[in-house]
Amino acid sequence: MSFHTFNMILSGACTAFTCLSIFVLMSMHATHLSKPKEQLKIMRISTLLPLYSVFSFLSICFPEIYVYLEPWLDVFQSAALGTFYLLMLELLAPATSRQDMFFAALAIPPSGSESAADSLSWYRKTWIAIFQYPAVAVILSLATDITQAAGVYCLESSKPYFAHLWITIFINLSLISAVIAVLKFYKSFKSQLKSHQPLAKLLAFKLIVGLSFLERIIFFALRATDVLKPDDQLTYADVNIGIPTMVICLQMVPFALFFHYAYSVRPYIIRRTLPAMEASVNPAYSAVSDERRYQGGPLGVRAWLAMLDLREIAGAIRFAFTMVFAGKSVGRGEELNKLGSR
């Protein structure tokens, strides 16, 4: 058996397990949708694992498309990172819209802020640092596909006249900036988030991002120094594509299990009382109104459809760039309110 065949079997099994495990978790949230604004974000974050696994498995099966698929994992990761930040905001200050969510959170001063102006500026910088990452990821993913098609990307080279080196540097700088901003935000509000298992939620997501970043650097260095190179057992595709993607498929398995703990559906399950018992103490009770406390619809169909709505993350990215172009005027309350109403 060749390494490629073995890799497809092992990675395929891991991918199937990851997808099934996350589908079960997402289905539980979809059918017990008692807090849609939180749970839809959890469902969107959870899609990162199946997407990572499926894209990695496809790259193993069809190595020729790896260079075109791999950069889009950064797009999925950046969207999940932004959604994780929005989830923390929602847990801190539940709101009815993205704009309200942001401005309601401004009422909570981060640790170390001395004034409302400092607090406002801190939130603005945090928002921009996080939501620049999805925009940068999309641009660099398109650049990767274009330069690869034009023959000037060169995956295995770190020479400055190839696009691979510069794209790798820029995407890593963007990732580091976003991750640091999220970590600072979590540190500032750790005590307020205590009742929501913040450390588990943080680790479940940040370990994926951290390992992905670390592995990218390691394999980039190994390829550049010829430590990993083809031999009698390993082909070029195995060395440059098969091994890195196999590692991703393997590590998604324990993360899929950990997600069931970190993003458990238990806090969102409404304990129903027996209709007869409830009616005896509450004449206005009806079993129909009890059922309506879950807003996912039959089999959670409405929840699945709502999860696919990308307007929230798109609006957050647009809002970040609006603040960048508005400059320092965003630090003033009146102008910031006008900005948020656009």
Q: Which tops the pLDDT comparison, 106 or 160?
A: 160
CA distances 218 to 58, 153, 166, 316, Å, are: 22, 19, 17, 32
Return the pLDDT at 296.
Answer: 58
DSSP, res 253: H
Q: Taking 50 as the threshold, does the pLDDT of residue 324 lie above it?
A: yes
DSSP for 145-168, please give it: HHHHHHT---TT---TTSHHHHHH
Return the pLDDT at 331.
Answer: 44
Return the pLDDT at 230.
Answer: 76
pLDDT bracket for residue 293 (50, 70, 90): low
Q: How far apart are CA 148 and CA 67, in angstroms?
A: 7
pLDDT tens by residue, 252-277 = 999 999 999 999 999 888 755 444 54
Buried b (16+ CB within 10 A) or exposed e, 13-27: ebbebbbebbeebbb
Return the pLDDT at 260.
Answer: 94
pLDDT bracket for residue 342 (50, 70, 90): very low
Q: How far apart are CA 318 and CA 128, in angstroms?
A: 10
- Range in 11-20, 221-230, 252-261 the model is least confident about: 221-230
Q: Which tops the pLDDT comparison, 279 or 34?
A: 34
- Range in 43-52, 73-82, 112-121, 281-290 the model is least confident about: 281-290
Backbone region of residue 229 per phi and psi (left: phi > 0; alpha: psi in -120 to 50; beta: other values): beta
Return the pLDDT at 148.
Answer: 92
Mean pLDDT computed over 276-282: 49
pLDDT bracket for residue 52 (50, 70, 90): very high
Mean pLDDT computed over 311-329: 81
Sign of CA dihedral 271, 273, 275, 280: negative
Closest CA to 144 of 203, 66, 213: 66
pLDDT bracket for residue 334 (50, 70, 90): very low
Q: Taking 60 as the threshold, does the pLDDT of residue 315 lie above it?
A: yes
pLDDT tens by residue, 172-221 = 999 999 999 999 888 888 888 888 888 888 888 888 888 888 887 888 77
- Range in 40-54, 64-78, 86-100 the model is least confident about: 86-100
Return the pLDDT at 102.
Answer: 52
Task: Fold for 3-270+289-331, please state it.
Answer: Rhopdopsin 7-helix transmembrane proteins (1.20.1070)
Q: Which tops the pLDDT comparison, 329 or 23?
A: 23
Q: Which tops the pLDDT comparison, 21 or 238?
A: 21
Q: Taking 70 as the threshold, does the pLDDT of residue 292 lie above it?
A: no
Quick check: 140 and 153 in contact, CB under 8 A? Answer: no
Secondary structure class of 270 (helix, strand, coil):
coil
Q: What is the model's pTM?
A: 0.82
Rg (CA), the chain: 23
pLDDT bracket for residue 110 (50, 70, 90): low
